[in-house]
Structure 1
Amino acid sequence: MTDGEQALLDCDNIVKRFGQLAAVDGMSLSVQQGEIVGIGGPNGAGKTTFFDVVTGITPATGGQVQLDHRDISGMGADRICQLGIARTFQLNAAFESLTVRENIDIAAYFGKGKRAVPGFRLGTDVREQTEEALAFVGLANKADETVAQLPVLDRKLLMIAGAIATRPRILFLDEPVGGLNAGEIDYIMELVLKLNGDGLTVVLIEHVMRFLLALSSRVLIMHHGKKIFEGLPNQVAEDPVVIETYLGEGTRKRLKTFFAEGEAQP
């Protein structure tokens, strides 16, 4: 972050303990408006737990989270979403017996404002948000299908649609392309780039390095709850600690080739 710039999201020394285990151990991250920040690392590194703390799924043991200079530490997931942070999950999170449209209606209705006494009318604003989200991810023609019938790609698109229907300022994506084939990964990549092009800030976790490095303007690697690397995507494969703890020599060589080919493109 450049001196003098103000972060949209500022996570300072976040700690999350489960008994004696520090799943997140002093993690700090500042995110600027319009960035795509990628987080990688081995299984069990604490990436998803870090997401859970920032988005209010689980309370932090220590540290502070600020959204646009407002302390959101200790707030619940519903309130944090209403303030502008939406997320997806590794596993498919949806109401299986409801339709695609009904799932997104729920996200749009509850995700943008407090509903002390929920009503029975969704309102035109919610309907518009739902239809826009459906069209954006390409699920408009499946809006009336039951979620239980959807394949893996469509379930991931549904989570993205539900998140963006809340009209967030920051979108957290937890392994958005896990289990997808190359063409499906490219499709999700295009969606993320379009969202970012429209001004949405994105923080993502991913093991698929092609996706992580091609999208991110800045990359963090976590290990044992700590940040062991932060830098540009093309620097990841040059860091000896990252190579030893996460990538391995084979992946390092493939990434070197990946960036070399990218630089050769006209």
Structure 2
Amino acid sequence: MKNGSRALLECANVVKRFGSLAAVDGMSLTVAPGEIVGIGGPNGAGKTTFFDVVTGVTPATDGSIGFDGHDITGVGADRICQLGIARTFQLNAAFESLTVRENIDVAAYFGRARRAVPGLRLGRDVREHTDEALAFVGLADKDDVTVAQLPVLDRKLLMIAGAIATKPKLLFLDEPVGGLNTKEIDHIIGLVERLKAGGLTVVLIEHVMRFLLALSSRVIIMHHGKKIFEGLPNAVAEDPIVVETYLGEGTRKRLKTFFTEGGAQA
């Protein structure tokens, strides 16, 4: 790790099988504090399944996962969140009939500490964390809106707010700009940059290469459950295996323009 610092996340030879199918096949990943690591790859590459395994949504078949000095292999999603890993999902995961504030209250209350017997009141700390998260993502003025009424961008922001309300050390973002337009993508880029500036470590999955490469200090490309590339963002389009299996020649050219001219869409 840089400057000899201890890794925040260490995944060693992680495997997830569904019957005879290895959706994740020997994935290893080390993430240092303060990094933004981007993961790309075609649909079905195993990216989200890898997230699911690391965050405890589904158990690993094999391999080990360490986080901040804890062995979290096989630990449940609730406890992993309480230890300091939060995440968002591809699909909009929220309680549709509750308000924006109520959704974040739930995350702030249950995502930070074990609650064997939930209390009757949220407590001042929960309310403060909810307020901070809503203000950070720009949803404070919509706190009483029912989630079912929110547009796509606000739903994305709601998931991020719920995640950061748990006060994580590591944030997993699964396709945070899927379905958004260029202006909305730029808004999320700015948000992630602010999270990093605040000291948060981020691992993200995204198909929008402009977003992935603009934010990531290191990029991993997966295919058939395996890592086929790991390196600097500007090296992705130069790797012949990545171009052949994922990017294609057209995207490769656009990415070269992105790095040489600094403004192309990819």
Q: State if a TM-score over 0.5 links the two structures.
A: yes
Task: State whether structure 2 residue 38 is matched by structure 1 residue 38.
Answer: yes
Paired-residue identity, %: 81
Unaligned runs of 5+ in 1: none
TM-score (norm 2): 0.98
Q: Note the 1:57-96 alignment, pairs <5 A.
A: 57-96=57-96
- The residue matched to 1:86 in structure 2 has which SS? strand
CA distance in 2, matches of 1:176, 1:77: 20
Distance 1:35 1:11 in 2: 15
SS in structure 2 of the partner of residue 108 of structure 1:
helix
* Cα distance, 1:5 vs structure 2: 3.5
Once the two structures are TM-superposed, the CA of residue 70 in structure 1 deviates from its matched residue by 1.2
Deviation for aligned residue 1:206: 0.1
SS in 2 for 1:39: strand
Q: Which segments of 5 or more consecutive residues in structure 2 lack a partner in the other structure?
A: none
Deviating beyond 3 angstroms after TM superposition, the runs of 4 or more aligned structure 1 residues are 1-5
Match of 1:24, SS state, is strand
CA distance in 1, matches of 2:260, 2:225: 31
Query: Which residue is equivalent to 1:115?
Result: 115
1:91-123 superposed Cα distances (whole Å, 9 cap, x missing partner): 000000000000000000000000000011000
CA distance in 2 between partners of 1:116 and 1:48 (Å): 30
Counterpart of 2:113 in 1: which secondary structure? Answer: coil
Q: Aligned pairs, how many?
A: 263
AA of the residue aligned to 2:57: I
Deviations 1:56-91 (CA, angstroms, capped at 9, x unpaired): 000000011101121011110000000000000000
The question of whether the paired residues in 1 share the 8 Å contact of 2:2 and 2:32 is answered with no
Give, as a single letter, the amino acid of the residue that structure 2 aligns with 1:127: R
The corresponding residue for 1:223 is 223
Which residue in the other structure is 2:234 paired with?
234
**1:147 pairs with 2:147:** yes
SS at match of 2:262: helix
TM-score by length of 1: 0.98
Partner residue in 2 for 1:162? 162
How far the C-alpha of 1:2 sits from its partner, in A, is 4.3
SS at match of 1:7: coil
The answer to whether the 8 Å contact 2:99/2:143 transfers is: yes
1:21-76 Cα deviation digits (max 9, x unpaired)? 00000000000000000000000000000000000000000011101121011110
Q: Does the C-alpha gap of structure 1 residues 56 and 105 become closer, same or farther in structure 2, counting only changes over 3 Å?
A: same
| One-letter amino acid of the structure 2 residue matched with residue 150 of structure 1 | L
Give the Cα–Cα distance (whole angstroms) in 1 for the partners of residues 102 and 4 of structure 2.
44
